[in-house]
Amino acid sequence: MMNGFVGSGLIACAMLAATAYGQNNGGTTPEAAPQTNSSQAESAPSVGLKDAFAGKFLIGTASDLRGYSDAELANIKANYNVITPENCMKPQPTQPSEDTFNWTTPDALVKWCQDNNIKVWGHTLCWHAQTPNWFFQPGADGQPVTRELAMARLKNHILTEVGRYKGRVIGWDVVNEAINDGGAGETENLRNSSWNRLIGPDFLTLAFKWAHEADPEAQLYYNDYNIDQGSVENKGKHASSMLLLKRLLKEGAPINGVGIQGHWHLDTSIPDVEKAIADYESLGLKVSISELDVTVTGGNSGAFPGGGGGGPVSAEAFQQQAQVYAKLFDIFNRHSKTISRVTFWGISDRRSWRSGQRPLVFDARLQPKPALQAILDVGLGKNVTK
Ligand code: XIL
């Protein structure tokens, strides 16, 4: 299933671009093909996304690589040089019950990536979601879980997982989404997660230290969504993220960078994105755009908004989406000394967690959307937007 494709990236690229991206696919489901309109056909890209940004930053996608067709695997090989496992390295699947680990899917993913010269980015070690309840429940003696027991469980999880993939995973989203939504930015505004309640706010620094202990060469990042929001005015979630990161650095957390998830939409503030990158750079940190997608319907960019959309999308909306992507990649290009990686959250609108909102650069049939060419043009210096 995972090894059926043999061929070069350029051949794969040509295979991907056979049909037109029509002017309107209104009324179709996300899985249906767009109407063909040969007069407006997207021309076949001759270069993969990763090649257009070679020497600047890695270009990634998210997938667990299960049940993918040969065409999908070919698309990955043609366009991306790093993969983030979309779900299979999270605490729920890797340690569903205490000391029972499950590595089947992540092992297969890491092997396929090694065989195909694709790097792996680990996601994620410490999170409030997709984490089994046993971490926070009484131990064998039936006593309420203490700070010490919660620490021991988190440490064991991190040492085991990071240790297993030492030297084969280039870096980790060590802590995911620790900051709450909706704050003014005057405090760190940490989420009232079980980790925070049981261990206290130093759970982040501890997690980074354990990850570093297990693999001193791995890049270690803090990852969150909407942490670009409010940066121009130095308020809101961005301001909270700056307070948190300054504290982690002061506490000696071995942190190398920040993942701005980048679950964006047509109205996302582009100046906020640029200022956020510059702010993190000023702390001496690297930045990744770790879960990039730009939805064309439904403005909510928070986590788990519940799909949404799925109705008609006009050709104009896809052109707007292409413009937003072009503006974003223009920023990434200009900050390429700071940006280490830009990872799309999925390979196609069919595979996206927000498939109804058509957020990616290949459509449900794996055909290029206007956004793909717009991004390639920026990478190849053909169309620099401001
Ligand atoms: C999402 C996956 O894409 C879905 O398949 C899954 O059902 C839920 O998680 N922020 C993150 C990612 O850090 O792990 C989430 O991934 C999307 C939001």
Judged by average pLDDT, the poorest of 158-172, 228-242, 372-386 is 372-386
In whole angstroms, what is the distance from residue 57 CA to residue 147 CA?
A: 39
Kindly list the distances between the CA atom of residue 133 and the CA atoms of 95, 128, 179, 195, in Å, as whole numbers in the listed order.
11, 10, 20, 11
CA-proximal residue: ligand 1, atom 12 (nearest):
86
Catalytic residue among 51, 161, 224, 293: 224
Average pLDDT in the 310-318 region? 87
Q: What backbone torsions phi and psi does residue 266 show, to the nearest 5 degrees?
A: -65, -25
Q: Cβ atoms within 10 A of the Cβ of 341, count? A: 26
86 CA → ligand 1 middle, Å? 7
Mean pLDDT in residue range 102-114: 98
Catalytic residue flag (residue 224): yes
Separation of alpha carbons 59 and 48, rounded Å:
10
| pLDDT at residue 216 is higher than 50 | yes
274 is catalytic: no
Ligand 1 atom index nearest CA of 176 = 13
Among 88, 179, 225, 291, name the best residue to mutate to test ligand 1's pocket (greatest count of ligand atoms within 8 A of Cβ).
291
Q: What pLDDT is attached to residue 15?
A: 34
Residue 252 has pLDDT above 50, yes or no: yes
> Is 316 annotated in the active site?
no
Confidence of residue 18 (pLDDT cuts 50, 70, 90): very low
Model pLDDT for residues 29-43, shown as the tens digit of each residue: 333 333 333 333 455
Give the closest residue (by CA) to ligand 1 atom 9.
87
Q: What is the mean pLDDT of residues 125-133?
A: 98
Res 24 pLDDT > 60 = no
For the chain, how many residues are written?
Answer: 386
Nearest to 125, CA basis, from 168, 82, 90: 90
DSSP bridge pairs for 220:
172
Instruction: Report how far ligand 1's centroid is from the alpha carbon of 265 (Å).
Output: 17
Residue with the bigger pLDDT between 82 and 306: it is 82
Q: How far is the CA of 170 from the centre of ligand 1 (A)?
A: 20
Q: Is the pLDDT of residue 195 over 60?
A: yes
DSSP single-letter state for residue 20 = -
Catalytic position from the list 274, 291, 293, 330? 291
Q: What share of the chain is helix, strand, coil (3-state, %, to 5)?
A: 35, 15, 50
Q: Is the pLDDT of residue 96 over 80?
A: yes
Atom in ligand 1 nearest the alpha carbon of residue 263: 18
Straight-line distance from the first to the last Cα atom of the chain, in angstroms, rounded to the nearest whole number: 43
Name the closest-CA residue to atom 4, ligand 1. Answer: 353
pLDDT band at 141 (very low <50, low <70, confident <90, very high): confident
Nearest atom in ligand 1 to 223's CA = 13
Q: How far is the CA of 216 from the centre of ligand 1 (A)?
A: 27
Q: Which residue has the tokens 């292409």?
A: 322
Task: For a ligand 1 pocket test, name from 86, 121, 343 the mutation site with the most ligand atoms within 8 angstroms of its C-beta.
Answer: 86
- In angstroms, what CA-CA distances link 202 with 175, 195, 219, 255? 12, 10, 20, 14
Ligand 1 centroid to Cα of residue 382, in Å, is 34
Residues whose CB falls within 8 Å of the CB of residue 8, separated by 6 or more in sequence, listed in order: none
* Residue ranges around ligand 1 (CB below 6 Å): 86-87, 176, 261, 291, 303, 353
pLDDT at position 311, please?
Answer: 73
- Mean pLDDT rounded to a whole number for the chain: 88
Whether pLDDT at 350 is above 90: yes
Mean pLDDT, residues 87-97 taken together = 98
Q: Could you say which of 177, 188, 293, 363 is catalytic?
A: 177
Name the more confident of 339 and 25: 339
